[in-house]
Every structure is written in structure tokens, then in C-alpha cells.
Copies of this chain bind each other. A is one copy, B any other.
């Protein structure tokens, strides 16, 4: 790894010549947003410059210049990350891809779409639907960039049926740290043609190369979908229904869980009470939200009858059909707003995004709630019950920052150890970034981290790309 150098006025001039005056920000022109992601607890730093290139060629020119001059480059999409991944901790430039925001071309006979990395997930989803397709990855944060989603292998609500972002990336154009342009994986759905550099790039969090174009797989848009709310007495009972739902062959599009506490906050925030709190005279303590999709509503309702049987046997108070478009929108808007709700209520916030085996979710959640009580920190959680991916937040109000950090660190240390013990993973979809490096090293072990470091050196010998993140 080389010593990084300072960004001189001369180099700023050269960057400006590449991207144009309006698209190379320095000094006060750099907004506060460029200093952080959505989890400012993990550190902030204003970069020396922000470049907003409009094309692969511009990205290549920026990278060559920075590589030749040992200037660190941190790639940023919409900045909706939660692990400090897009923070330029070593200074240098932030390369923001949000001007590369075009949906370039649909190939309707081969079910693919070519996009630039700065397209927002919500825009892609809507546009795909208008073409009769579905882009299945559906993380809660709809304003994230697709490039960022690929960089973290984001999963989302529909991963239990359709898989994570990884499963929808067929090809990409990558600019290496050297400025060389690499085309990975012609857009076919199946390949056994050498080491999968494509899969290595997916989830590499901007440390191996800059994603400049993506070819994504689409599927025919399901003709119908219906959601079902299953209220339970408590989270343990709710979670214990999940393996039965999965085993019943219903192939649900999503199986989400949420605790009553967060549902109440969400209702206060949005002003809409979409999850019933008292069902058949009984107080609901937790919910499972299931969506079934398919070719037509009749077929879905056949499966819904099976779901009703399974739910009843698992102790659900009822199975509430969410069938009108407005109800559906309200329920999923509430679900998508959970993180915003948590952030809006908390002065300080720390998070974990572990994955545990589906049958260990209840045990793990109980463990973390106990940790919260022991350490005097409020725990809030929701997540993807179908695939064991839990979003757990430590929140603090009217507390001293250092005290909060030291309490949450105790919780995190114990929780990640428990997660490893259960055979889980550090992150399901948020990534490692800067915040979770230590936990990745503990969980993956020195041998695996050594191989990752070696791979990093192959792609980025000078270590200029997103330094200090993931492994190295």
C-alpha cells in the first residue's frame, strides 16, 4: 500500500477538466451530506473534493489520475448506507455516481435492462413495472441507488422468494483503480466461464472497482399479489410460525416480522393505523406480514386457505387480508417507514443487520432484548423473517453520546458473538463498511480476511479505492 498524497490545486484543475466546473465540488461547495451516510455515529469527514462524473469515460479518467497520484477515492451512490461505507475517512475525493442515472435499454425478449449505477431503486422498480416486468430486489430504502444496492448485495423484502440483488446482476462495466475498463459477464443467465469476477464485485462495497453500468435480470410482473397480516401474542410465537409457512409450499414473496412497539410508532408517525392492535379481543404483541403473488387472485386465494390453516395452528389470532390497493399501499408504506420512524424518534442510533438461521430468530431477538435491558438501552427491531435477516436498532434519547457508544458497544460485542455461535453472518444486506470490520474479522477469521486482503491487492495495488473499508 502506498502513502496517500494531498489533493493539490493542480489535480483539482485536472479533475474539473474531466467532469466540468459544476461537477467538481471543493471547499464550501461540498454539502454536509457528502461527509456521512445515514449512520453518522460511525464517523464523518468532508472529502477534499466531490466529483460527479457523467460517463464511464469520465470515471476512468478520474481513476487513472487518482491512481497515478495516490489520491484516495471513495465511491458514493445515494448515501443511504448504514455502515459508514461511503465516508472518505482517509480524505481524497468522493466519486458520486448520482449523475449516471439513466435507464438505458430494455431487452424485452431476453428479460434484461441496462442501467447506470445512479438510478434510484424506486425509479427502476416503477419503470420496470410499466414495461410489464418486475425487478425483484426490494430493500426498504427505495431512494438508494442501484449501484449501491449491488455494492452491498442488498436483499430486501422479496428475497425469501426471489433472492437478493446478487441473483439479478447479469453483467457490469467496472472501472478498475488503474482506470482500465473491465466488462464482466455478457448478459446470459448461466455461466461457468472462469472465476466469477462478477460475483466478487457484487457486495465488494466499492473497494475493488467502480461500477459504471449494470445489466439486470427482470422477471415477468406477477399478475396479482395479496398481503396478509398475522397478529400473534408475542414475537416468539410469531417467529415460530415461519418454518411452517415456508414448509407449506406457499412460496411467499415476503415474510416480514415486526414487533408491536414499532408498529405503534409507525402509526403515530404516519397517522395511519394499518396493523390492528386488538384482534378477536386479544392484544397483539407482534405480527407476521406475508405476501403471496401469482398469476391470478383465485390461485392466490387457494394458497391463502392453506396459509390460514398453518397460521391457526401456529397460534395466530387471525389472518387479515390486505386486498384493496389503498390498504396494500398503506401497509407497505408503514413497513418501509420503520427505519425513518426509528431515526426520527432517536437522538442517537446504532444498528445491526445480522442474519441467523430462521429457527434461531426468536432466540436471538430475546437475547438482544435482554442485553438492552441489562445495559439500559432501548432495542427496536423488525426484519425479514423468511430469511433470518434482522434489523435491530439500539436507540438513545437524552443520553450522553460517549455513554451511549460504550453501552451499545457492549451490546454489539455480545450480540455478534451470539450470532456467530448460532451460525449467523455479520450482515445480511447493509455490508461491512467501516463500522463492522472488527465483527467481520472475528466472524470470518484471519485466514479468510487474509485472502480478501490478497484479492484487494490484486485489484487495487495502491489501495486507493475506498481505503479502510471491509477488510484491509
- How far, in angstroms, from A208 to B428 measured CA to CA in the complex? 26
- How far, in angstroms, from A443 to B387 measured CA to CA in the complex? 37
- How far, in angstroms, from A166 to B109 measured CA to CA in the complex? 24
Partner among B190, B432, B471 whose Cβ is within 8 Å of the Cβ of A159: B190
A170 to chain B, nearest CB (A): 10
| 0/1 interface trace, chain A 437-467, chain B, CB 8 Å (1 if under) | 0001001110111011011111100000000
Partner among B246, B387, B425 whose Cβ is within 8 Å of the Cβ of A185: B425
Interface centre among A188, A203, A430, A443 (most CB of B within 10 A): A188
Query: Which residues of B sit under 8 angstroms from A431, Cβ to Cβ?
Result: 192-193
Query: Which residues of B sit under 8 angstroms from A194, Cβ to Cβ?
Result: 203, 432, 440, 444, 448-449, 452, 470-471
Within 290-310 of A, Cβ neighbours of B (below 8 Å) are at 295, 299, 302-303
Q: A188-B424, A432-B193, A459-B451 are in contact. Are A200 and B203 (CB under 8 A)?
A: no
- How far, in angstroms, from A42 to B209 measured CA to CA in the complex? 36
Partner among B108, B220, B388, B452 whose Cβ is within 8 Å of the Cβ of A189: B388
Within 361-412 of A, Cβ neighbours of B (below 8 Å) are at 384, 387-389
A445 to chain B, nearest CB (A): 7
Tell me if B193 and A444 are in contact (CB < 8 A): yes
- How far, in angstroms, from A294 to B278 measured CA to CA in the complex? 36
- On chain A, the number of residues with a Cβ less than 8 Å from chain B's Cβ atoms is 90
Number of copies: 2
- How far, in angstroms, from A108 to B108 measured CA to CA in the complex? 39
Query: Which residues of B sit under 8 angstroms from A109, Cβ to Cβ?
Result: 243, 357-359
A356: interface (CB < 8 Å) = yes
A57-65, A176-184, A261-269, A338-346 - interface stretch: A176-184
A284: interface (CB < 8 Å) = no
A13: interface (CB < 8 Å) = no
A1 to chain B, nearest CB (A): 16
A459 to B, closest residue via Cβ: B451
Partner among B187, B189, B195, B448 whose Cβ is within 8 Å of the Cβ of A470: B195
Tell me if B388 and A182 are in contact (CB < 8 A): no
A87-95, A150-158, A227-235 - interface stretch: A150-158
Tell me if A193 and B423 are in contact (CB < 8 A): no
Tell me if B193 and A426 are in contact (CB < 8 A): yes
Query: Which residues of B sit under 8 angstroms from A282, Cβ to Cβ?
Result: none
Query: Which residues of B sit under 8 angstroms from A200, Cβ to Cβ?
Result: 195-196, 199-200, 455
Query: Which residues of B sit under 8 angstroms from A123, Cβ to Cβ?
Result: none
A69: interface (CB < 8 Å) = no
A204: interface (CB < 8 Å) = yes
- How far, in angstroms, from A134 to B340 measured CA to CA in the complex? 40
Partner among B186, B355, B449 whose Cβ is within 8 Å of the Cβ of A425: B186
A80: interface (CB < 8 Å) = no
Q: A110-B358, A200-B199 are in contact. Are A423 and B183 (CB under 8 A)?
A: no
A29: interface (CB < 8 Å) = no
Tell me if B448 and A191 are in contact (CB < 8 A): no
Tell me if B249 and A220 are in contact (CB < 8 A): yes
27 contacts between A and B (CB under 8 A): A109-B358, A132-B247, A155-B190, A164-B190, A166-B196, A166-B199, A182-B448, A183-B445, A184-B448, A186-B420, A188-B424, A189-B387, A189-B388, A190-B389, A191-B203, A192-B431, A193-B432, A194-B440, A194-B444, A195-B208, A196-B199, A196-B203, A199-B200, A200-B455, A249-B295, A299-B302, A455-B455
- In addition to A185-B425, A192-B427, A195-B471, 4 A-B residue pairs with Cβ atoms within 8 Å of each other are A190-B425, A194-B444, A194-B448, A195-B456
10 shortest interchain CB distances as A-B pairs: A454-B458, A199-B199, A188-B355, A109-B359, A109-B243, A191-B425, A186-B423, A220-B249, A193-B426, A153-B192
